[in-house]
Structure 1
Amino acid sequence: MSLTRKRQKELKRLRSNAEDLWGQQQEVLSNANALAAEARKQAAYYTREEIAPRVREGYDSYVRPAAQTARDTAGKYAGVARDRLVGDVIPAVGTAVGTALSVVDHARAARSAAFAGDFKKAGKELTRKASVAKQKSGPGAGTVIAVGLGVIAAAGLLYAVWQTFRADDELWVADEEPTTPPAE
């Protein structure tokens, strides 16, 4: 099947137009890439010149003093904290673990007795299990102090981040409208 000269000429013109359009699109993409590279470079400059110093200043004026105060306070009360840990926390944790293991042990003994058919012994084990489970211990003073210090440290960190990233009206200056030369 052969094409007429007219159709061949139209197809050749169409191909030429498509190639021109392709070239124009490549030029637009090249310009867009150059613009994006320049924007990336300007963003890096802005970050290095404006944002990094503000973050460093916020860190130096809020986080570092709070950390130093916490370190000094921890150093001052390290002996007290160690004594509380050894005297209150470790025994409480040991008691809780021992109680849990005792409850598990009684449950196993009751299940074993019930499986063997000795329901009277199983009932006694369940009664012992219930009495062991009623013993409880609450958090000690060391736990309360540790949680309090953690909350204070978290609040200080959040305040420092808020101070660093809060919006200052004086900081942002609106860009001037670019002046365009009058059309001739």
Structure 2
Amino acid sequence: MDFDRKTMRDITKLTHEAQRLWEEQRDVLNQAKDMALDASRHAGDVARREFLPRARALYKGAIQPNLSRIPWQTIAAAPKRSSNPLVYVLMAVGAIAVAALSYAAWQTLRADDELWVEDEAE
């Protein structure tokens, strides 16, 4: 495209301004990333110094004694059930039924040219 000098000058000026803004945004994002990492480190330190000891003290003082009073019982494993011969018979009948249905579907959907009778032209 052909632009006059004034338009080209404005386009160049806008291009430089956009480039400068892009670099500023990149710098701001880098600073924000550094601040977020620093805040994360400080939050972890505070949690380790303040929260964790309080949570341990609460557990040892209030929760653990109450848990030790509960009579825990182990649950006995359910006895293993033996297989019934009827299960194998039913599996065989099911397999035969699936095979029969598959064969019927194949017979229905196959292309058999001998079954079709052409219309006679009059």
Q: Which residue of 2 aligns with 1:4?
A: 4
Matched, 1:57 2:63: no
- Identical aligned residues as a percent: 29
Q: Which residue of 2 aligns with 1:110?
A: none
TM-score normalized by the length of structure 1:
0.38
Q: Which residue of 2 aligns with 1:18?
A: 18
Deviations 1:103-142, CA, capped at 9 Å, x for gaps: xxxxxxxxxxxxxxxxxxxxxxxxxxxxxxxxxxxxxxxx
Distance in 2 (alpha carbons) for counterparts of 1:10 and 1:65:
77
Give the number of the structure whose alpha-carbon radius of gyration is greater: 2
Distance in 2 (alpha carbons) for counterparts of 1:25 and 1:67:
55
Distance in 1 (alpha carbons) for counterparts of 2:8 and 2:66:
81
Matched, 1:48 2:48: yes
Distance in 2 (alpha carbons) for counterparts of 1:9 and 1:63:
75
Distance in 2 (alpha carbons) for counterparts of 1:69 and 1:9:
84
Distance in 1 (alpha carbons) for counterparts of 2:2 and 2:41:
56
Q: Secondary structure at the match of 1:60?
A: helix
Tell me by how many angstroms 1:69 deviates: 2.2
Distance in 2 (alpha carbons) for counterparts of 1:13 and 1:67:
73
Q: How does 1:1-184 map to 2 (within 5 A)?
A: 1-70=1-70, 74=71
Q: Secondary structure at the match of 2:2?
A: coil
Aligned pairs, how many? 73
Distance in 1 (alpha carbons) for counterparts of 2:63 and 2:24:
54
Deviations 1:71-122, CA, capped at 9 Å, x for gaps: xxx38xx8xxxxxxxxxxxxxxxxxxxxxxxxxxxxxxxxxxxxxxxxxxxx
Deviations 1:30-55, CA, capped at 9 Å, x for gaps: 11111111111111111111101111
Deviations 1:133-153, CA, capped at 9 Å, x for gaps: xxxxxxxxxxxxxxxxxxxxx
Tell me the amino acid that sits aligned with residue 32 of structure 2.
A
Tell me the amino acid that sits aligned with residue 40 of structure 2.
R
Tell me the amino acid that sits aligned with residue 53 of structure 1.
P
Q: Secondary structure at the match of 2:61?
A: helix
Distance in 2 (alpha carbons) for counterparts of 1:10 and 1:31:
31
Structure 1 or 2: more helix by fraction = 1
Q: Which has the higher contact order (CA 8 A, sep 6+)?
A: 1
Tell me by how many angstroms 1:67 deviates: 1.3
Tell me by how many angstroms 1:68 deviates: 1.5
